[in-house]
A and B are shown apart, each in its own frame.
Chain A
Amino acid sequence: MAKKSMRTAINEAIRLEMRRDPTVILLGEDVAGGQGGSADVNDAFGGVLGVTKGLYTEFGPGRVIDTPITESAIMGTAAGAAVSGLRPIAELMFVDFIGVCFDQIFNQAAKFRYMFGGKAQTPMVMRAMTGAGLRAAAQHSQSLHGLFTMVPGLKVVVPSGAYDAKGLLIEAIRDNDPVIFLEHKAMYDLEEEVPDEAYTIPFGEANVLREGKDVTIVALARMVRFSMEAAANLAKIGIEATVIDPRTTSPLDTDTILESVAETGRLVVVDEANPRCSFATDVAALVADQGFKSLKAPIRLVTAPHSPVPFAPNLEDAYIPNAAKIEAAVLSIVSAGGRNAA
C-alpha cells in the first residue's frame, strides 16, 4: 500500500467526498489562491501549506471557493449553507484566527440543532491548522482543541497521522453536526500507509497504539508520536506503557481510557495545549472521578506551560512537550519493573 503524507491524505479525503457528493463545497482564504492576480493563475497555492492544491482545477470556482479575509463571513456562510442544503468545508487556516469569528462557530453553528429543537442539521466542517513547532509564534501556533471541546454541539477531531486524518475527515464531512477538524501543521509531511479508497473512522473511538501493563499514556496529535517514542524508550528499561490516542476530544472515548487505567493503575496525559481547563485536566478529572479506585499513583500531566507560544527556537522547543518530559513523568510514578516510584 502506498505511503502518503498527511497533507496528501487530507487532500484525498476532500477530493473523494467532493466527487461522491455534489453538495460538498470547500471555502476559505486562498484554498485555491491567486484569483484576480496579474498572472491569471487561479490555483496558485491550494492553501498556505498546499493541502488543498489541485481541487480548484478539478471542481472549479463554484465548489472550491476563494474568499476574502473575512473569517466571520467564512464560518457564517458555511453554517448558513449547511442548514440550507450544502456540506461546506470551511477553512480557517490557522486555528488562532478563531478569535475573529468564534461567534459563528459556538453561538451559531454549534447551537442550531439544540436551540431549534432538533429540527436543524448543520453538516459543516471547520478545518484549521493547529500546534507549535514551525517557529510561527504566539498567534500562529496555538493548540485550542480544549476551547472547542467545551462547547456542546461541536465535535472535535485531532488526528495524529495520515491514515487517521483521511478516515476521520471523510467521517467529518459525512457527519450531520458541525465538526472542528484540527490538523497539526508540523505533521503534514509525515507519511503512513493510506488506502486509495474512501474509508471512515468513527468518532469517539480511541486508537490504542501500544499495550502495556505499567502505565497509560493518553495523548493527541503530535503528542501521540512523542508518547510512542517515550514508550519505546521506557520499554528498554522494563516499563510497559499503553498509549491511547482518543482521536476525537468530543466525543471522547472515556471507556477505553478508564478500562486501560483499570489495568495499569497509572495515568499520564500529554497535551500540547496550555494546562488550565484543558484536555489534560479533563482526562485527569475523568479518571479521578470514575477510576480513582484503580489508581496506584498520582496522575501526571505533561503539557505546555501557562504561557503563549514563544518565537525563539530554543524557547519554543522548551515550550513543547517532548519524549524526555513524558519519560520523566512516567518515571516519577513507576520505576523499572513496574512498581510505584519511590
Chain B
Amino acid sequence: MSRADTGQPGAPDRGTDEMLEALFAEARAAEPGPSEAFLARVLGDAADVAAERAAPARPPAPAPRGSLVTRLAGAFGGWRAVAGLAACAAVGFWVGFAGPDAVTDLPVLDTLTGADMTLAYEQTSSEFALLVDSYPEI
C-alpha cells in the first residue's frame, strides 16, 4: 500500500493503518476460491466458442424444387405476373404487325374517350403537314 497519505490531514494514524492492513490481509486469506463447477462452465464456454469458430460456413440454401417453367414463373413473380406479361407481349406484337390504324380504329377507344379517334388521328396528321409546310427549315 502506498503510504502517500501519511502525514496529510485526516490520515490514518499508525495504529489504525496497521489495523487496516491486518484486516485486509485477513479478508484476503478468507476469500473462497472458485468452485469446480464455475471453472468447468468457463471452460465449456471456451470450447463452445472455439467450436463455433471452427465450424464450416453455412452451406448455400438448396435450389427451389420444381420444373424449369415453374422456377421461371417464380422468378418473374408468379403465374399472374407471367400471364400479364404474356398479354402485354401479344398486344405489342399485334400492334406492330397491324400498324397504328389497328389501334385508332378500335371502337372501344371511342367508347372509352368519348371522341372519334380516327378523326383525331387525321386532324393531328393534317396539322403536322401544315406545320411542316409553314416551317420548311425544320
A, B assembled together: no
Residues in chain B within 8 A of chain A (CB atoms)? none
Q: Chain A residues in contact with chain B, CB under 8 A?
A: none
